[in-house]
Structure 1
Amino acid sequence: MNAELLPRRYRTRVNKTFTLFWSLGALVGLFLLKTWTAETFSFSFQLWATIVTVAGFVFILGTVPRGFTHIDENGISRRSAFRIRRLGWADVYDIRTISMPSSAIRRYGRVQPDAVYAYRTDGKRFLLTFLNAEELGEENFPREMEVLHSLLQERRGGDWTPDPRVEEHIAEQAERYEERTNALTSWGLASVLLIAVTTVIIIQMITI
């Protein structure tokens, strides 16, 4: 493989991480302040609410910056909150960008960035986290995809041809993805509204 192109690592932007932590920290602080100043809650509830909230914040604080997608001469590695998953180059069938279904975009707008998947030789897909235009920028993302496709083409060789069985499996996945996205997007917007209303009600109850 082209040595100067590897390794490559993708992770969330630093400013995005700080924004998340500051926003979440402000919400946690406000919640704890309201919890401990309200006279309607018992001490045991205040204590457990503090432990659970702080533990959740520390967990997010420790796991979010550690996530990444790493690509080197051995293949692709993806680190999540709990483990590292690896995919060797011999098991990579293709690398493709998956966009939101056009039907969902027309109804709700582009509520999520395009996702990049490495498809395995059995047709199953492997998400490459943090590899998207939102993290890399609109200009850098296409260049990164060109680099990955050139690396994959070098590994596959010039005589590579698509496998009809794998392509059929990928097409079936795309259909299921469109159905799930349409369903989850509609339910997701409803859930956001419900959570927002519930949060306002809870805050008002605490401050009474």
Structure 2
Amino acid sequence: MSYERLPLEYRMSSGRLRLLITMILLATPAALLPVLTIEEIPTGIRTVVSLAVVALFGWLVYGSRRCATTADIKAIGVRGFFRRRRVAWEDVQDIRAELNPAAALQSAAPTYITFVYGRDGRKLQLPYVDDQHVSMEREMALLLDIWTELRGDDWAPDARAAVLIDRRNARQAALLSGMSWAMLGFLPLIAIMLVPLFTDLPEGLESLLSPWAVMGVGLPLIFVLTALASYRRSLRNL
């Protein structure tokens, strides 16, 4: 039985953790240097600020070591910097591996990340259950097997939760679509802004093509229209 492998804990890889700790150790003296070298700063303030900086960086190290995805016989959850969140196995509606939108902008970001969906329709990201820390195929199969075994024989999908999940995903897809189209529209809008520099236009039209008007109205308009179109299209497909 897969649940016999519980408890499970997914943490930051040791290599990444060492790199993070090294960066924090290097950043601490750099942050303290201005405070310690400026003579005009009173000794009391210097001491308080220095202790605060050391405490902050120490807390970052502690928090990075503490953060994890956990799974036991009762629930799957996340232990974060500030709090713990858990979803009982019988309340889990799905566990999914999804494309990470940040991967398009950050080369070091994982391509696939994992979410657990609860009965309230919200999704909770499972840190370190991604394609940079684990074998996604193996760990996803394990978590799905554990969920199937522990959710109870009388478990059934919650229809209301399914609607909430679909609508939440539709909203998130709409936001991503709007941002993508706004980014794609940036260069064409710049080209439109340059038109008055090379062409004589009526005064009214020239004011409409001013940078403030084009960027202040054009970008938000592209975002809103494409996001709404994406959201309505997603709702029709539900």
Structure 2 length as normaliser, TM-score?
A: 0.62
One-letter amino acid of the counterpart of residue 61, structure 1: V
How far did 1:58 drift? 1.6
One-letter amino acid of the counterpart of residue 126, structure 2: L
Aligned to 2:25: 25
Residues 3, 150 of structure 2: 8 Å contact kept: no
Aligned to 2:66: 66
How far did 1:5 drift? 3.1
One-letter amino acid of the counterpart of residue 146, structure 2: L
Indicate the structure whose relative CO is greater, using CA pairs within 8 Å and at least 6 residues apart.
Answer: 1
In 1, Cα distance between the equivalents of 2:44 and 2:178? 40
How far did 1:154 drift? 3.2
Percent identity over the alignment?
A: 28
Residues 90, 155 of structure 2: 8 Å contact kept: no
- Structure 1: stretches of 5+ with no match in the other structure: 187-208
In 2, Cα distance between the equivalents of 1:43 and 1:183? 51
Determine if the alignment matches structure 1 residue 169 to structure 2 residue 159.
no
SS class of match (2:117): strand
Which is greater in Rg? 2
- Structure 2: stretches of 5+ with no match in the other structure: 183-238
> 1:1-208 residue pairs with structure 2 within 5 A?
2-39=2-39, 41-101=41-101, 108=105, 112-113=109-110, 114-136=112-134, 140-155=135-150, 162-180=157-175
Residues 95, 115 of structure 2: 8 Å contact kept: yes
SS class of match (2:9): strand
Partner deviation per Cα, 1:26-80 (whole Å, 9 max, x = no partner): 1111222243234565545533331221121121122221121111221213212
One-letter amino acid of the counterpart of residue 53, structure 1: V
Residues 100, 178 of structure 1: 8 Å contact kept: no
1:15/1:110 CA distance change after superposition, 3 Å: closer
Alignment size in residue pairs: 181
1:53/1:131 CA distance change after superposition, 3 Å: same
